[in-house]
Structure 1
Amino acid sequence: MRATDLADPMTAHVLHLVIEVVAAGQAPAPVTVYTHATATGHAPGEHRRHWLARWLADTYSHTPTPVPDVAWHLKTAVLEAAWRRALTTHARRLLHATEHTPTELLAELADDTEAADELWTRYRQALAEVAPNRLEVAA
């Protein structure tokens, strides 16, 4: 999952921090994420540090445990939402283009679905790789 998959810029910023922490081989505990943010300059100023601390406290206090059991679901939900946003963006661009773009370029714009296609592929891979096998669970 990528930070750019999230619609909310603040949440995307925190996910970026979490990705960096995990890439460094550490568990993304709230204190670790906060320490990383302040040490790397990703939370400059008192206001940003307060916001980050509050966000981490609120999020981690409302996260069901154990996290690995729901992580696959959250990842697929985020990717599905990102895919839907990409489709909406493409549809809006086409709607605008049908009124203002020369005919020669319209077909090219209609075929430009790379962002949505990539998200669709990642969403389907996440479903296939991580979703528990229903037959195994039932057995």
Structure 2
Amino acid sequence: MAEQGTDAQILDLVLLPLDFTTSALYHNTGQHTDFNRLVAMAEAADKLVFVVPEYNCSFPGVLKAFIDGLPYPGGIRGKKAALVGLSSGAQGGILPLNHLTDVLMYLGTAVLPQRVRLPFIDKHLTAEGTLTEPLYQQLLQEQVEQLLAF
């Protein structure tokens, strides 16, 4: 995004409060300051990029719980999203991307058709977070360009 001259923020689910499923969702909606700050980031974004690891043939439950905590209707309704799947296997996270696409479309979030899959990510990602596979870098760059035009 920076190479395209576009500002971006990272909303890392590691920052979610440990107790958010009991302290910020359902009857506690709007009552957890730290959770609300992350929700506000998602709501303020024009476009979203989900980087999704494969977990038990789907996406991680913490992502679903975060999405469930977003205001409905609203939250990310009407936004546009790009999806990147990661896996240590050969399919590159296609199952999580399919599941997440269904959830996002239900919420009224348009999903960019070009979903990037990064198989065998453990072999192509350094400990510092650098991708070593030129094809992956190219696919991500093309996706960014398409997302900005989406």
TM, length-normalised to structure 1: 0.27
Higher strand share: 2
Tell which structure's C-alpha radius of gyration is larger.
Answer: 1
Greater helix percent: which structure?
1
So what's the TM-score if we normalise by structure 2? 0.26
